[in-house]
Amino acid sequence: MLRALAAQGLALAVIFGLAWLLAPRMPFWFWPLAQGGAAAFLAYLWGLNRWWLIFQVALPFALVWQLGHPVPAWIYPLALLGLVLVFGGGLLTRVPLYNSSHAAWKALLDRLPLTEGLKVADLGAGLGGPLSYLARQRPDAHFVGVEASPVVWLLAWLRTWSLRSRCRIRFGSLWKLPLGEFHVVYAFLSPAPMPALWKKTLLEMAPGTLLISNTFQIPGVIPETEIRLPDRPDARLLVYRIPGDVETSTSDSQEALKKAENT
Ligand SMILES: C[S@@+](CC[C@H](N)C(=O)[O-])C[C@H]1O[C@@H](n2cnc3c(N)ncnc32)[C@H](O)[C@@H]1O
């Protein structure tokens, strides 16, 4: 976002210079086009993807349109409130809303153990896609999701309404959900919370259980398995097993915890 904003800012400085020289000779539409084109070019040089490029070109036209069609001032706080209700859950944790793909749901299903009374959690459940799919495919298992954005939580809750005896979506922070009862914890978050998440799973989950992360790895920890997903070049499921001998001791787990604390 900062790169996109910087591209618009730098392009604006250049376009101001050009306008100083050429303003009377060029048609009005040239200026938003030049602004958007220059910003998109900079964004391309700085490695932003094609959606950002389209956005860079469209933004100056949207501003020009808006100058001719003023909207009431209350629209802005309302739009801000809407954004907070949808994306607010990840605002401080730097985890936005985006959905796991169908391929990820299927790969996740394949990794679920056949354990009797299996319990699975989705931390940051989003719109509830993975959980409602898994709950339908595994009627013998129980599922819990936790989601911090109010509107997103409500949509996930409605989506899993018919499955609610085995699939619950709680509203709140993933950091407050105790993980001790789960055999599998799924998380599709961002790079930012992964070290803290690993620490939480080591402290709370039983040895031998699984943390499955979509795409984002735990720094310094090698996953037991990596499953490539067809969605994006870097998309994969990373399967981490909580260390320690299930039958005897948890010394491996304590060693891993010490390592996590040092990173
Ligand atoms: C990338 S989405 C993943 C959604 C879903 N798990 C999926 O795979 O389709 C991450 C979600 O985590 C939520 N989130 C971020 N931080 C959170 C937190 N601390 N507690 C609960 N939810 C959180 C965001 O609001 C967002 O909906």
Could you give the domains of the chain? 2-68 (no CATH), 102-262 (3.40.50.150)
Close Cβ partners of 35 (under 8 Å, ≥ 6 residues apart): 8, 11, 12, 15, 60
Q: Tell me the pLDDT of the chain (263 aa) as tens digits.
A: 889 999 999 999 999 888 888 877 888 889 999 999 999 999 999 999 888 999 999 999 999 998 888 888 899 899 989 888 887 766 667 788 889 999 999 999 999 999 999 999 999 999 999 999 999 999 999 999 999 988 999 999 999 999 999 999 999 999 999 999 999 999 999 998 999 999 999 999 999 999 999 999 999 999 999 999 997 788 999 999 999 854 444 556 566 666 666 65
Nearest Cα residue to 148 out of 200, 102, 198, 84: 84
Q: Which of 93, 157, 170, 186 to mutate to test the pocket of ligand 1 (most atoms within 8 A of CB)?
A: 93
Can you give the pTM of this predicted structure?
0.77
Pocket of ligand 1 contains residue 207 by CB under 6 Å: no
Pocket of ligand 1 contains residue 89 by CB under 6 Å: yes
First-last CA distance in the chain = 28
Pocket of ligand 1 contains residue 76 by CB under 6 Å: no
Edge-to-edge order in the sheet of strand 225-228: 167-171, 142-147, 119-123, 184-187, 210-214, 236-241, 225-228
